[in-house]
């Protein structure tokens, strides 16, 4: 038994020794798996870090967007509860003009370029630059003495030859009496008749020479042929001028009246001709380059006799009294021709018309609340526009568009220039002045503000 026990013990010890040996062997190689496990754990760690960062940033953005949306909703609710201060104008009915706008050039009715017809020395210049002169005023005086001398010589020659003619006629009467008494031959009488005719021809020649000399004397004095304005001085006293030279001595341009030539499309020709055939005087207004200020008002004078085939336009000429000299030759203007007048049109201030991608609209104010109403724009005349889509008597907003929206509450403010009811706080004419003097300005004014 003890031997068996000892064997068993030794066997167990061997087993224990043998079992422990592999453990000792594995412990002797501790670094063999390390190069594979450590990098894999680090790569998974970075992936988790990136995931956590993305989730965190996304959550932060979502939270901030949610706060911003809540703040916007809160602001919108506050705006909805707060009224927008505006001024209004009443929709009216009345006449409005239908105009044709065109580019025009101011032209003078008469322009006189004065040149000399005789040679000589300029002894005086009797005008100042820019002076308004009248027909018959002496402008430039050329030395007339040579031409006065020629005139005197022609007068002397004429007097001499007239005396010879008178003597020849006396002799002819004597020869006629003598021939009647058969005292002289017929040939002598005929010769005297021809002598008288020769002297008559000489006298006519002398008369022509005298007329030419007198004309040269007149040419030495340069007078204004028309009323108008002289330009800059082109000659000075002491200058020698010749008839062969084309250099002008003075240029006169008529300013009163004055005309404007402009072109319109041939499509408007039937309307214009209809008005002219009926004897109507068609009004024409001239505006400055920016179409902000009206320079003058006139009437249509005539139209050209043919259409320009290259542009499809026809030229028209309007005449203006130009009493204040507001129009100047060769000035660029914008001409506006009144071709017709639309009666009983629904009128709103041009400043009340707003635009969005869907078209034109106005804000109609009822019970202190603004409602967007689409309109169709017709004719625009200065600060007024003919529209369809609203009713006469409606109140439309003309200010406050930067904060005004459809359905917004409003508080109607009175204009300082109007003490009437709130619905008419801003008159149509006042709106027109604020919007500009033409349709394009009104459109620019209405293009501002918010668009729902």
In order, the DSSP letters of 182-219 are: T-S-HHHHHHHHHHHHHHHHHHHHHHHHHHHHHHHHHH
Q: Where in the chain is the domain with CATH 2.40.50.100?
A: 114-252
Candidates 79, 334, 200, 376; CA nearest to 192 is: 200
pLDDT at 48: 79
pLDDT along the chain (452 residues), means of 10: 42 41 43 50 72 84 84 68 84 90 94 95 94 95 96 96 95 92 91 94 96 95 95 94 93 95 93 90 92 92 93 95 93 93 90 91 90 89 87 91 86 64 38 36 34 32
φ/ψ (deg, to 5) at 177: -65, -40
CB atoms within 10 A of CB 421: 12
Say whether 225 sits in a helix, a strand or coil.
Answer: coil
Report the DSSP beta bridge partners of residue 283. Answer: 299
Specify whether the CB–CB gap between 89 and 395 falls below 8 A.
yes
263 and 308 in contact (C-beta within 8 Å)? yes
Q: Is 244 exposed, middle or buried (0-12, 13-18, 19+ CB in 10 A)?
A: exposed
Nearest to 139 by CA among 131, 129, 127, 123: 127
Q: What is the spatial distance between Cα 364 and Cα 137, in angstroms, rounded to a whole number?
A: 66
Candidates 3.90.1570.10, 2.60.40.10, 2.40.420.20, 3.40.50.1820; correct CATH number of 81-95+343-446? 2.40.420.20
Q: How many Cα neighbours within 13 Å face the side chain of 143?
A: 14
Give the Cα separation of 245 and 239 in Å (integer).
Answer: 13
Q: What does the DSSP assignment read for 5-53?
A: HHHHHHHHHHHHHHHHHHHHHHHH-TTSSHHHHHHHHHHHHHHHHHHHH
Q: What is the pLDDT of residue 369?
A: 87
Cβ count within 10 A of residue 129: 11
Give the pTM: 0.61
Contacts with 177 (C-beta within 8 Å, 6 or more apart), sequence order: none
DSSP code at position 239:
-
Topology of the domain comprising 101-109+255-340: Elongation Factor Tu (Ef-tu); domain 3 (2.40.30)
What residues pair up with 294 in beta bridges, in sequence order?
A: 287
Location of structure tokens 């904060």? 403
Residue ranges of the chain that CATH labels 2.40.420.20 = 81-95+343-446
Q: How many CB atoms lie within 10 A of CB 330?
A: 9
By 3-state DSSP, what share of the chain in percent is helix, strand and coil, each rounded to 5?
40, 30, 30
Separation CA 396–CA 400 (nearest Å): 11
Cβ pair 360, 353 in contact under 8 A: yes
Every domain range in the chain assigned CATH 2.40.30.170? 101-109+255-340
Output DSSP code: residue 398.
-
How far lies 229's CA from each of 100, 105, 115, 122, 224, in Å? 32, 19, 17, 21, 10
Class at the top of the CATH hierarchy for domain 114-252: mainly beta
Neighbour count for residue 145 (Cβ, 10 Å): 12
Structure tokens of 42? 């680090």
**What's the first-to-final CA gap in the chain, in angstroms?**
110
């Amino acid at each position: 038994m003890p031997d068996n026990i000892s064997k068993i013990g030794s066997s167990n010890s061997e087993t224990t020794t043998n079992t422990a040996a592999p453990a000792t062997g594995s412990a002797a190689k501790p670094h063999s798996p390390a190069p594979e496990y450590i990098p894999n754990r680090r790569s998974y760690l970075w992936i988790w870090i990136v995931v956590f960062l993305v989730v965190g940033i996304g959550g932060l953005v979502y939270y901030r967007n949610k706060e911003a949306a809540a703040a916007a909703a809160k602001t919108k609710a506050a705006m909805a509860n707060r009224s927008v201060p505006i001024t209004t104008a009443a929709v009216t009915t009345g006449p409005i003009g239908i105009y044709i706008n065109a580019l025009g050039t101011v032209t003078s009715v008469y322009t006189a370029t004065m040149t000399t017809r005789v040679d000589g020395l300029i002894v005086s210049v009797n005008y100042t630059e820019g002076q308004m002169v009248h027909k018959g005023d002496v402008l430039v005086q050329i030395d007339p003495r040579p031409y006065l001398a020629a005139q005197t010589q022609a007068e002397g020659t004429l007097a001499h030859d007239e005396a010879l003619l008178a003597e020849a006629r006396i002799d002819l009467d004597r020869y006629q009496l003598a021939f009647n008494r058969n005292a002289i031959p017929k040939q002598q009488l005929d010769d005297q008749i021809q002598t008288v005719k020769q002297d008559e021809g000489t006298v006519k020649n002398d008369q022509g020479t005298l007329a030419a000399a007198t004309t040269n004397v007149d040419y030495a004095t340069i007078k204004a042929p028309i009323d108008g304005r002289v330009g800059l001085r082109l000659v000075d006293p002491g200058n020698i001028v010749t008839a062969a030279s084309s250099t002008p001595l003075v240029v006169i341009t008529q300013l009163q009246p004055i005309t404007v030539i402009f072109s319109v499309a041939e499509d408007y020709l039937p309307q214009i001709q209809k008005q002219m055939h009926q004897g109507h005087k068609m009004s024409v207004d001239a505006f400055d380059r920016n179409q902000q200020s009206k320079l003058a008002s006139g009437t249509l004078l005539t139209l050209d006799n043919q259409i320009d085939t290259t542009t499809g336009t026809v030229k028209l000429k309007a005449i203006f009294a130009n009493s204040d000299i507001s129009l100047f030759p060769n000035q660029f203007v914008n001409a506006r021709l009144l071709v017709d007048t639309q009666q009983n049109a629904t009128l709103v201030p041009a400043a009340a018309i707003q635009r969005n991608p869907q078209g034109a609209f106005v804000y109609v104010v009822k019970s202190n609340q603004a409602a967007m109403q689409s309109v169709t724009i017709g004719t625009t005349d200065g600060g007024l526009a003919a529209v369809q889509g609203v009713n006469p008597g409606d109140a439309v907003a003309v200010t406050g568009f930067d904060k005004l929206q459809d359905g917004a509450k409003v508080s109607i403010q009175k204009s300082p220039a109007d003490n009437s009811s709130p619905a008419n706080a801003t008159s149509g004419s006042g709106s027109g002045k604020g919007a500009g003097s033409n349709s394009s300005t009104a459109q620019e004014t209405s293009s501002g503000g918010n668009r729902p």
